[in-house]
């Protein structure tokens, strides 16, 4: 599926990211994605799409998405329904994507544009109405794969989570987390426990040992693990809303099951800072945005100067998996409360409309 995708100039993308991306903590300024397989039958609000926009306040985002096949409101449906203006998502193409990133940290990569062969599959998926193998392939086939630094992928079945983590590791991914809510939810659950499998690059201990004088056969085995001499481990742990400093909310409070225009109105209320600070949907979004911030490495910085309104008080407390989950929430709240996410969103709307003029 990757080989059949429309070709993208990844080298130029990487150059733009290297020049523009905010390098902070362990985040190198590369592209990031947060996406779910869908098909979990919970009809929750468009969490990963909203989180991707909020995260673009500090990270470069390449949100890969499509129209709904197994729900009422897919990511593309949501974005195309925003008011007073919506982005022209089809104007982001392999030929224009560089122009988009020059104008904003955010890009939505509409799957049919970058995977043209999938047009034969789309109507059948829609007619079937249940999850298929393409729900699983989508999150693994971001069109700018070669430029993705970090990602969070939600799966709708717990037994798929370690499989996805291993698939990512086999394809060379070094910074990612695969998540599944205990309710078989393809997001971090706001209701209780979520199962997490995080890919973390570490120094290969056998390579370190080799430098102390092992034999040649041992060196060969070590070098075969990674050209850099490092290895990628998969750390399994669980997270709860409390780990983010947030209360739990039943899924019934975040599952409006609404049409795209209604969900789009909720999205814009969040971006404009009009949502109550204790709203369950906002908490749900903050958790998942925080997860991407942690996985990207930006929360590892011991200082903070995000912009106006940032008090610089980094939350250094570590939770399960060693992540600064509460710091992630602090950064996500700042992005909403001080308009940083809205700024990137409006720039994305502007550039995609300008590209078709």
77-90 pLDDT, tens digit per residue, is 999 999 999 999 99
Q: Is 91 left (phi over 0), alpha (psi -120 to 50) or beta?
A: alpha
Q: 110 is written with which tokens?
A: 């509409």
CA atoms within 13 A on the CB side of 5: 23
Contacts of 304 (CB under 8 A, 6+ apart): 310, 312, 313, 314, 331
Q: Which two tokens stand for residue 89?
A: 């998502």
What is the predicted pLDDT for the residue at 43? Answer: 66
> How high does pLDDT run on average in the chain?
90
Sheet with 176-181, strands from edge to edge, namely: 106-110, 60-65, 31-36, 148-154, 176-181, 194-203, 230-239
Q: How many percent of the chain have pLDDT more than 70? A: 90
Q: What is the mean pLDDT of residues 252-268?
A: 86
184 near 156, Cβ under 8 Å? yes
Asked if pLDDT for residue 11 goes beyond 90, the answer is yes
298, 267, 309: which is closest to 27 by C-alpha? 298
Q: What is the pLDDT at residue 49?
A: 94
Paired residues of 153 in beta bridges: 35, 178
CB proximity list for 345: less than 8 A, separation 6 or greater: 53, 56, 106, 271
Question: Quick check: helix, strand or coil at residue 330?
Answer: helix
Q: Is the pLDDT of residue 215 over 60?
A: no
Separation CA 224–CA 166 (nearest Å): 17
pLDDT > 90 fraction of the chain, expressed in percent and rounded: 74
Which pLDDT does position 126 carry in this prediction? 78
- 106-142: per-residue pLDDT in tens? 999 999 999 988 778 878 877 887 778 888 888 899 9
- Lowest-confidence range among 33-42, 212-221, 272-281, 283-292? 212-221
Q: Summarize the confidence of residues 163-186 as an average pLDDT.
A: 96
Of 118, 41, 42, 104, which is closest to residue 76 (Cα–Cα)?
A: 118
CB 79 within 8 A of CB 89: yes
- In whole angstroms, what is the distance from residue 95 CA to residue 149 CA? 21
pTM over 0.85, yes/no: yes
pLDDT digits over 30-75, tens only?
A: 999 999 987 655 567 899 999 999 999 999 999 998 886 555 668 8
């Amino acid at each position: 599926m990757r080989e059949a995708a429309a070709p993208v100039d990844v080298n130029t993308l990487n150059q733009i990211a290297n020049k523009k991306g905010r390098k902070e903590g362990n985040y190198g300024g590369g592209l990031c994605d947060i996406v779910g397989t869908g098909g979990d039958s919970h009809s929750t609000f468009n969490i990963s799409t909203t989180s991707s926009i909020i995260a673009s306040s500090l990270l470069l985002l390449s949100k890969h998405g499509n129209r709904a096949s197994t729900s009422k409101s897919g990511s593309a449906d949501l974005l195309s329904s925003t008011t007073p203006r919506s982005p022209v998502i089809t104007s982001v193409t392999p030929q224009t994507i560089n122009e988009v990133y020059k104008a904003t940290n955010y890009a939505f990569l509409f799957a049919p544009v970058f995977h043209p062969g999938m047009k034969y599959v789309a109507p059948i998926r829609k007619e079937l109405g249940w999850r298929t193998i393409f729900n699983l392939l989508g999150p693994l086939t971001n069109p700018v794969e070669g430029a993705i630094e970090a990602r969070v992928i939600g799966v709708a079945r717990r037994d798929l989570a370690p499989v996805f983590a291993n698939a990512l590791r086999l394809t060379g991914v070094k910074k990612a987390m695969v998540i599944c809510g205990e309710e078989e939810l393809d997001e971090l659950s706001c209701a209780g426990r979520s199962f997490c499998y995080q890919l973390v690059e570490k120094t290969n201990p056998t390579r370190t040992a080799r430098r102390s004088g092992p034999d040649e056969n041992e060196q060969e085995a070590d070098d075969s693990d990674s050209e850099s001499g490092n290895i990628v481990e998969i750390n399994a742990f669980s997270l709860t809303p409390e780990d983010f400093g947030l209360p739990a909310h039943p899924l019934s409070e975040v599952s409006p099951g609404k049409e795209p225009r209604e969900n789009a109105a909720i999205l814009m209320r969040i971006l404009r800072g009009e949502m109550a600070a204790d709203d369950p949907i906002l908490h749900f979004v903050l958790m998942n945005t925080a997860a991407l911030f942690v996985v990207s490495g930006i929360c590892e910085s011991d200082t903070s100067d995000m912009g106006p309104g940032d008090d610089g008080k980094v939350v250094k407390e570590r939770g399960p998996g060693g992540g600064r989950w509460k710091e992630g929430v602090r950064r996500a709240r700042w992005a909403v409360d001080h308009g940083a996410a809205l700024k990137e969103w409006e720039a994305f709307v502007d550039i995609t409309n300008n590209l078709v003029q």
